[in-house]
């Protein structure tokens, strides 16, 4: 049995935040972690915007699970794939899983996790606005679909053994801008992603020119997605509710009441966007 007293404090804080107890590594435990992660930690770029000037001073982004957890506790911030999945990878290592990075489409970072007593690796991705509530068995379950509330992701074998393609569908329509491929035969270190991160932090990139926050709420059978001043609520029955927010007060109320993220510094992120010449209220 794992000894919680020997774990770093950030690991204990991480597990407490996602409300998952300490257990031995297994497929079931990994599924529990993934589901809880999606329910408790937002996929958002508020943290990116608040780090924008710091990044351009240092010129690099580093793995830092402790900082990630501190930001969770202090600000309810999650992040995008670079910080969420790198921190999750460090957590899984502390919990006794063997995992490594994979790179999708030249810019998205996912994880490949080796399960105890199994030869097969599974795909894990909590740094993505996609319903990966459980690990995906790429080889033994090639037809598996990760789906919820009209969002579907399918990982399918590509041209060569060990290569896969990522297909995302929204309400049955293929999103052609998210046709990614990845090669599980390649192994990456986090610094291998620095060129992609450099592009990610450019002023006019997707995550530096919009305001984004997404969260799954399985207990309410829905998902929330905020893009600038537009809120979309997707329900498990296929219903989609949309709202346009008129000012910062409404935005704060949505973050507090709908997302339940009262510490999330959305006002500061809007201010950074304003400094970058982006008006989230502009039609």
Q: Output the domain CATH number for residue 261.
A: 3.30.2140.10
- Does any domain span residue 228? yes
Do the domain assignments include residue 253?
yes
Give the model confidence (pLDDT) of 12-46 as tens digits.
Answer: 999 999 999 999 999 999 999 999 999 999 999 99
In terms of Cβ atoms closer than 10 Å to its own Cβ (0-12, 13-18, 19+), residue 60 is exposed
237 inside domain: yes
In a domain, 268, yes or no: yes
Residue 29 lies in a domain: no
Q: What are phi and psi of 282, to 5 degrees?
A: -80, 130
Residue 7 lies in a domain: no
Each residue of 71-100: pLDDT tens digit? Answer: 999 999 999 999 999 999 999 999 999 999
Q: What is the pTM of this model?
A: 0.96
- The reply to whether 255 falls in a domain is yes
- Which residue range forms the structural domain that includes residue 265? 204-275
120 in any annotated domain: no
How does DSSP classify residue 207?
Answer: G
Q: What is the Cα–Cα distance from 249 to 251, expressed in whole angstroms?
A: 5
The number of distinct structural domains making up the chain is 1
């Amino acid at each position: 049995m794992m000894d919680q007293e020997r774990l770093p404090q950030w690991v204990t804080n991480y597990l407490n935040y996602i409300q998952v107890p300490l257990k031995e590594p297994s497929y079931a435990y990994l599924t529990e972690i993934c589901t809880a992660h999606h329910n408790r930690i937002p996929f958002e770029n508020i943290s990116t915007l608040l780090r924008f000037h710091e990044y351009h001073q240092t010129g690099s982004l580093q793995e830092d699970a402790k900082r990630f957890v501190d930001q969770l506790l202090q600000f309810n911030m999650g992040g995008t794939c670079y910080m969420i999945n790198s921190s999750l990878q460090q957590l899984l290592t502390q919990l006794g899983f063997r995992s490594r990075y994979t790179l999708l489409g030249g810019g998205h970072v996912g994880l490949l996790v080796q399960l105890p007593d199994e030869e097969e690796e599974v795909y894990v991705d909590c740094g993505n606005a996609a319903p990966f509530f459980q690990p995906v068995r790429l080889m033994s379950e090639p037809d598996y679909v990760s789906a919820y509330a009209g969002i579907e992701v399918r990982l399918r074998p590509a041209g060569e053994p060990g290569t896969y393609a990522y297909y995302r569908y929204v309400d049955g329509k293929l999103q052609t801008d998210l046709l990614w491929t990845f090669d599980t035969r390649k192994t990456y270190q986090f610094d291998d992603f620095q060129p992609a991160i450099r592009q990610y932090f450019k002023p006019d990139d997707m995550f530096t020119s919009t305001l984004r926050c997404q969260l799954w709420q399985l207990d309410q059978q829905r998902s929330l997605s905020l893009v600038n001043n537009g809120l979309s609520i997707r329900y498990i029955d296929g219903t989609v509710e949309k709202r346009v927010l008129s000012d910062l007060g409404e935005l704060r109320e949505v973050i507090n009441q709908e997302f339940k993220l009262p510490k999330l510094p959305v006002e500061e992120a809007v201010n950074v966007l304003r400094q970058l010449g982006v008006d989230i209220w502009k039609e």
